[in-house]
């Protein structure tokens, strides 16, 4: 295959041939196996993305789409022979409408850059995840990312007003809606949000902004069991309606690892079985102290510290954000991301920990998650790759039995494709296949990810 046409589209500086591709384009956060893609291209804009895809489509050349490569499902991890399509040069913040509260961005804009630009304009992009310094808005849209504020502000779908996408054959579909209401026909943007790059490549988007947060209170609480976590959640939701933005639970094994990886002392003088990081908006410190004081008196929590400064708030969040460093230090890791009806999470965690330790020799299970959203994470360190399918079967069977989903927010990618039937009916999977076949008949986009074509 001669690459001169592609080089002509993106310019010689933005095409790397096989063997000359920088290693960072060959790996992702899960430490998946390195393959030998055909080449890597970095188009500058939608028009170049369109020309690249039209060229690939004519040749039935498979393409893998990449944003910041922080995905946890191996969706962006290249396979042998693929063209790697990196969106990282589409990083313009094109416009901020400070009256309406909208922001128009390229797909390659990094989340943190978008958050900072919104803040400088007196607004706020109310979505946040630990990978904020590297993940792109295009990747977050493609995975319908969730994160730390879903309780109040919803997942990525709630933040996208409009988008532009390029179909596999190069057709540009521009739905750059800026309004809250637009029922003129099908809401086509929803096809691309959460479809993990299998139905089209997102190139631009219009994001909805919110007013800056007022009166953010952050506390870390110590608990003895999961029933108390549920009781605390209910107290906070009822006493401070619509104010709770984060309810991040960390089991002791996770917090101990986080303390080691951050080099920080654990938050309390003694250890507890569970810790919850609570974030609340629009309430004075006294209001939060009162609810937590009542919870303490009722023995729902054993201890609590309310952050008195931004420094202290960031210190609390550093425990929760340490997951990247923890996972990077594991030889082999399976980053489980499941959702389970909230009331059942505690029982599932206890049973899973016992079963994994008994049946997966040498594994290290660390449980934490956005429990207010029913979203449980398990970073499972494994001594060898061969144990992965055994661990997956244990976890996904338990999740299916509890009526949960095998993916709360990370998506399916390559890593979970074979388990999709645990959470979706054959009719649902069949419809996904038909949609995919209709939008990408030559099956060039993110082949083998999510569902087979």
Ligand X SMILES: Cc1cc2nc3c(=O)[nH]c(=O)nc-3n(C[C@H](O)[C@H](O)[C@H](O)COP(=O)(O)OP(=O)(O)OC[C@H]3O[C@@H](n4cnc5c(N)ncnc54)[C@H](O)[C@@H]3O)c2cc1C
206 near ligand X, rule: CB under 6 A: no
Binding mask 410-429 for ligand X (x = CB under 6 A): x--x----------------
Quick check: 366 and 379 in contact, CB under 8 A? yes
267 near ligand X, rule: CB under 6 A: no
Tokens at 116, concatenated: 């900072």
Stretch that binds ligand X, among 224-232, 308-316, 354-362, 409-417 (CB under 6 A): 409-417
Quick check: 117 and 141 in contact, CB under 8 A? no
What's the DSSP call for residue 342? G
Q: How far is the CB of 284 from ligand X (least distance, A)?
A: 28
Of 51, 86, 93, 53, nearest in space to 69 by CA: 86
Binding mask 107-126 for ligand X (x = CB under 6 A): x-------------------
Cβ burial, residue 285 (10 Å; 0-12/13-18/19+): middle
Distance linking the first and last C-alpha atoms of the chain: 24
Q: Quick one: 118 or 295, whose CB is closer to ligand X?
A: 118
Stretch that binds ligand X, among 196-204, 244-252, 339-347, 427-435 (CB under 6 A): 196-204
Quick check: 375 and 337 in contact, CB under 8 A? yes
Q: Quick one: 32 or 138, whose CB is closer to ligand X?
A: 138
Stretch that binds ligand X, among 137-145, 170-178, 285-293, 432-440 (CB under 6 A): 137-145
Q: Quick one: 140 or 399, whose CB is closer to ligand X?
A: 140
Distance CA 73, CA 417 (A): 9
Quick check: 433 and 421 in contact, CB under 8 A? no
131 near ligand X, rule: CB under 6 A: yes
Contacting residue, 409, 422, 439, 440, with ligand X by CB under 6 A: 409
Longest CA pairwise span in the chain (Å):
73
Distance CA 209, CA 212 (A): 9
Stretch that binds ligand X, among 130-138, 216-224, 283-291, 384-392 (CB under 6 A): 130-138
Contacting residue, 201, 206, 292, 371, with ligand X by CB under 6 A: 201
Q: What is the DSSP string of 7-55?
A: HHHH-GGGEEETT-S-GGGG--TT-PPP---SEEE--SSHHHHHHHHHH
Quick check: 211 and 99 in contact, CB under 8 A? no
Indicate left, alpha or beta for 31 from its phi (over 0: left) and psi (-120 to 50: alpha): left
147 near ligand X, rule: CB under 6 A: yes
Distances (CA, A) of 415 to 30, 33, 302: 9, 12, 39
Quick check: 16 and 22 in contact, CB under 8 A? yes
Positions in 321-380 near ligand X (CB under 6 A): 323-324
Binding mask 39-68 for ligand X (x = CB under 6 A): --------------------------xxxx
Q: What is the DSSP string of 308-326?
A: -SHHHHHHHHHHHHTHHHH
Distance CA 380, CA 352 (A): 11
Q: Quick one: 170 or 273, whose CB is closer to ligand X?
A: 170
248 near ligand X, rule: CB under 6 A: no
Q: How far is the CB of 137 from ligand X (least distance, A)?
A: 8
Q: Quick one: 76 or 356, whose CB is closer to ligand X?
A: 76
149 near ligand X, rule: CB under 6 A: no
Positions in 19-38 near ligand X (CB under 6 A): 29
202 near ligand X, rule: CB under 6 A: yes
How long is the chain?
Answer: 453
Distance CA 256, CA 199 (A): 41
Contacting residue, 30, 61, 136, 423, with ligand X by CB under 6 A: 136
Q: At what angle do helices 252-262 and 310-321 cross, to 10 degrees?
A: 110
140 near ligand X, rule: CB under 6 A: yes
Q: How many residues bind ligand X (CB under 6 A)?
A: 37
Binding mask 69-88 for ligand X (x = CB under 6 A): xxxx--xx----------x-
Q: How far is the CB of 99 from ligand X (least distance, A)?
A: 28
Q: Give contact residues for ligand X (rule: CB under 6 A).
A: 29, 65-72, 75-76, 87, 107, 129-131, 135-136, 138-140, 142-143, 145-147, 196-197, 201-202, 323-324, 409-410, 413, 446, 449
């Amino acid at each position: 295959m001669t690459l001169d046409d592609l080089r002509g589209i993106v310019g010689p500086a933005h095409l790397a041939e096989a063997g000359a591709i920088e290693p960072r384009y060959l790996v992702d956060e899960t430490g998946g196996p390195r393959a030998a893609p055909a080449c890597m291209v970095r188009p500058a804009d939608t028009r170049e993305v369109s020309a690249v895809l039209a060229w690939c489509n004519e040749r039935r050349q498979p393409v893998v789409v990449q944003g910041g490569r922080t995905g946890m499902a191996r969706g962006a991890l290249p396979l042998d022979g693929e063209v790697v399509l990196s969106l990282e040069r589409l990083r313009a913040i094109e416009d901020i409408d400070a009256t309406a509260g909208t922001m128009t961005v390229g797909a390659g804009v990094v989340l943190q850059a978008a958050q900072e630009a919104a803040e400088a304009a007196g607004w706020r992009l109310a979505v946040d995840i630990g990978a904020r310094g590297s993940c792109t808005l295009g990747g977050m849209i493609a995975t319908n990312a969730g994160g730390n504020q879903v309780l109040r502000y919803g997942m990525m779908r709630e933040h996208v007003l409009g988008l532009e996408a390029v179909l596999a054959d190069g057709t540009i579909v521009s739905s750059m809606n800026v309004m809250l209401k637009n029922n003129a026909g099908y809401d086509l943007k929803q096809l691309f949000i959460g479809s993990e790059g299998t139905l089209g490549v997102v190139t631009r988007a219009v994001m909805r902004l919110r007013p800056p947060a007022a009166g953010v209170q952050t506390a870390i609480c110590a608990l003895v069991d999961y029933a108390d976590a549920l009781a605390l959640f209910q107290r906070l939701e009822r006493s401070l309606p619509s104010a709770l933005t984060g309810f991040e639970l960390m089991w002791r094994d996770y917090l101990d690892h986080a303390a080691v990886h951050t080099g920080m002392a654990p938050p309390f003088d003694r250890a507890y079985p569970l810790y919850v990081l609570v974030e609340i908006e629009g309430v004075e410190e006294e209001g939060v102290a009162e609810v937590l004081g009542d919870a303490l008196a009722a023995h729902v929590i054993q201890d609590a510290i309310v952050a008195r400064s931004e420094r202290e708030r960031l210190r609390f969040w550093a425990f929760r954000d340490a997951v990247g460093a923890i996972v990077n230090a594991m030889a082999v890791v399976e980053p489980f991301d499941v959702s389970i009806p909230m009331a059942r999470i505690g029982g599932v965690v206890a049973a899973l920990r016992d079963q994994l330790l008994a049946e997966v020799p040498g594994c290290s299970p660390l449980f934490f998650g956005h429990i207010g959203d029913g979203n449980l994470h398990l970073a499972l360190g494994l001594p060898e790759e061969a144990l992965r399918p055994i661990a997956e079967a244990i976890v996904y069977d338990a999740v299916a039995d509890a009526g949960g989903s095998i993916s709360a927010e990370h998506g399916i990618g390559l890593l979970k494709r074979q388990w999709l039937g645990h959470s979706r009916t054959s009719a649902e999977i069949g419809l996904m296949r038909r949609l995919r076949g209709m939008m990408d008949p030559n099956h060039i986009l993110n082949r083998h990810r999510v569902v087979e074509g």
